[in-house]
């Protein structure tokens, strides 16, 4: 069986715990009619947390990737799959991979709204890039995206479970994936994604998390 492609450290438990909460709160805020004391309290708590966290993280904005990475750089979290589990700016989804095919489900919350009641088109492009990369990494040959074409056919509704399907073809140099996002049997949008067929042996070194001092 082909080894899954990974690159980076695993997210922390607290990162995966807070991320869905941040995404949900972002959506709930969109429904408020007026300022709310619960939000005022949350803002103050976030200000305190931001101040404390800023004093504990590495000073260098670049990640610890490659032999020349600064010693005070930050850890790099694995972006090969499930980015939405630790970063609220990305969508979450469920995926099953079967060789050159993959399928799954996704529900876009209010945090990703563009036009009224509809998912923002840029979020859909991000979604396709994520699930295609996840598919590529699970079958063991992945690389940087070189082109991404999204074709919008129908408005994509918020808060509804949707289905997606991906078909993948590759040669020694390129990976081409064609994805569809559906509501029942209705195709809402499609994407054609091309990526470089990378060489795992040429990946730069990613430094692991450092032990507590």
For residue 69, name the pLDDT band (cuts at 50, 70, 90). confident
**Does the structure show a pLDDT above 60 at 1?**
no
Which parts of the chain fold into alpha helices (H)?
Answer: 13-29, 37-54, 121-139
Average pLDDT, the chain: 95
Write the CB contacts of 111 (distance below 8 Å, at least 6 apart in sequence).
Answer: 23, 24, 26, 27, 30, 88
Residue the block writes with tokens 């694995």: 78
pLDDT digits (tens, 9 = 90+) for 99-140: 999 999 999 999 999 999 999 999 999 999 999 999 999 999
C-alpha span between 110 and 159 (Å, rounded): 7
Mean pLDDT of 15-27: 97
pLDDT digits (tens, 9 = 90+) for 151-195: 999 999 999 999 999 999 998 899 999 999 999 999 999 999 999
- Please say if the pLDDT value at position 97 is more than 70: yes
Answer yes or no: are the C-beta atoms of 27 and 92 closer than 8 Å: no
Which neighbouring-strand residues pair with 180?
165, 190
Name residues whose C-beta falls within 8 Å of residue 52's C-beta, 6 or more positions apart in sequence: none
Retrieve residue 213's tokens.
């001092």
Domains, the chain, ranges and CATH?
13-199 (3.10.129.10)
């Amino acid at each position: 069986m082909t080894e899954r492609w990974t690159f980076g450290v695993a997210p922390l438990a607290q990162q995966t715990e807070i991320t869905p909460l941040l995404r949900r709160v972002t959506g709930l805020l969109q429904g408020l009619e007026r300022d709310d004391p619960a939000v005022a309290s949350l803002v103050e708590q976030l200000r305190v947390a931001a101040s404390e966290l800023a004093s504990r993280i590495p000073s260098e904005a670049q990640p610890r990737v490659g032999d020349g990475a600064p010693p005070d750089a930050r850890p790099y979290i694995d972006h090969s799959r499930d980015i939405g589990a630790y970063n609220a700016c990305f969508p979450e989804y469920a995926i099953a991979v079967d060789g050159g095919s993959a399928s799954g489900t996704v529900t876009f919350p209010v945090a990703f709204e563009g036009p009224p009641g509809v998912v923002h088109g840029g979020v859909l492009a991000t979604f396709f890039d994520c699930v295609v990369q996840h598919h590529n990494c699970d079958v063991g040959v992945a690389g940087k995206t070189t082109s991404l074409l999204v074709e919008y056919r129908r408005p994509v509704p918020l808060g509804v479970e949707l289905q997606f399907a991906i078909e993948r073809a590759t040669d020694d140099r390129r990976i081409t994936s064609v994805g569809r996002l559906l509501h029942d049997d209705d195709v809402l949008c499609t994407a054609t994604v091309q990526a470089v067929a990378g060489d795992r042996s040429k990946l730069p070194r990613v430094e692991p998390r450092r032990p507590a001092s």
